[in-house]
Structure 1
């Protein structure tokens, strides 16, 4: 059966998600992208894909467009990933299955576990015994080393580096180019600012920045 996919979200991050999906679909005979939704339902096409409705239209679109799968194409993790979490729940509530997507140029160890609805972008590296939760973004050229555990609804931004043995709890955001040293715990909803170097654990909901991050 052909998997018919809808992207939930139509902003800048959706452009990269759609490009990744198009790269995957180009070699997968059982997948096609139906389009994307956004808050207005009137967005311009993205990379040739139409806006097929609003996020609230999902239950109707499942039947009218014969949709089977979805992926959250919103990058924001403000509020501990509240928006991404809400959209992920809405997709499942509409009867869709979350799609896990791995760009063909990503390197993923055979022993790594990737959760439902997670997207691994171009050039990302995921090393052995990594466990990644649901609805996670591993963005362009991000690197996650051995034995890391990543919770749900997390965004690891472009070029971020996670050393081995890190615990990154639900709803965290690791900014572009940030580095986290090994065996640290970054608690639920914490944010590591872009370019920071984290040398100690981070409390729930905290924002840390700088080198060393404080």
Structure 2
């Protein structure tokens, strides 16, 4: 771990990531990379280059991918990982993390989140504001659990899936990879086919 942090992405998600990093008080300085040349700073934090410049900075900075899109975040994370770059895990000070919880590199846990005991959360995940993840969950790599989503016990969410704001997943439910669960949807049964699911109870629309 280094004493400076570089965040790839200076827009909405990146700003929240930076805010968490500031509150963690582990880095003496923070900077952004962003491909929008019109953005010179964000939250008063300097943008020091484009995402393609990242490997010029790995000797001096820890690197975090502050990109909201699951697919893009995974692509960038994998490139960094392949080069042996240190990618931290960010946890807001107000989050509650239970015993025997595993959080992999590149995952961010935002304000007001509760992750209960014996849960495993993979690489590059977003556990967004006020979400709850109960006991014995398995959240695979590059999943986004949106603000106010609630997962009961023994839920498994496959790689790259996105659970929309306010969605609810009942206990002992499996959601396969690369799914979208719409805002406010209630998942009561396993989802075994990739697609978009909405409604109460949830059903596939495409």
TM-score range normalised by the length of the shorter chain: over 0.9
Q: What TM-score results when the alignment is normalised by the length of structure 2?
A: 0.93
- Shift >6 Å, 4+ stretches: none
8 Å CA contact 1:198, 1:213 repeated in 2: yes
171, 184, 202: which one aligns with 2:160: 171
Measured in 2, the distance between the counterparts of 1:39 and 1:204 equals 35
Preserved contact between residue 168 and residue 186 of structure 2 (Cα < 8 Å): yes
Count residues with an aligned counterpart.
Answer: 203
Q: CA RMSD in A?
A: 1.5
8 A Cα contact 1:40 1:53, kept in partner: no
Report the alpha carbon displacement of residue 148 of structure 1 after superposing the two structures with TM. 0.4
> Structure 2 CA distance, aligned partners of 1:203 and 1:213?
13
Kept in 1: contact 2:18–2:30 (CA 8 A): no
Of 92, 96, 103, which aligns to 2:85?
96
CA separation in 1, counterparts of 2:165 and 2:80? Answer: 27
Which SS does the other structure have where 1:40 is aligned?
Answer: coil
Q: Matches of 2:39 and 2:23 in 1, distance apart? A: 22
TM-score by length of 1: 0.90
Take 2:172 and 2:58, find their aligned partners in 1: how far apart are those partners? 43
Shift of 1:91: 2.6
Please tell me whether the aligned partners of residues 41 and 52 of structure 1 are also in contact (alpha carbons under 8 angstroms). no
Of stretches 82-91 and 139-148 in structure 1, the one that deviates more from structure 2 is 82-91
Alignment of 1:45-84 (within 5 A): 45-63=41-59, 66-67=60-61, 69-76=62-69, 81-84=70-73
Deviation of 1:13 (Å): 0.8
1:154 aligns with 2:143: yes
Structure 1: stretches of 5+ with no match in the other structure:
none
Secondary structure, counterpart of 2:67 in structure 1: coil
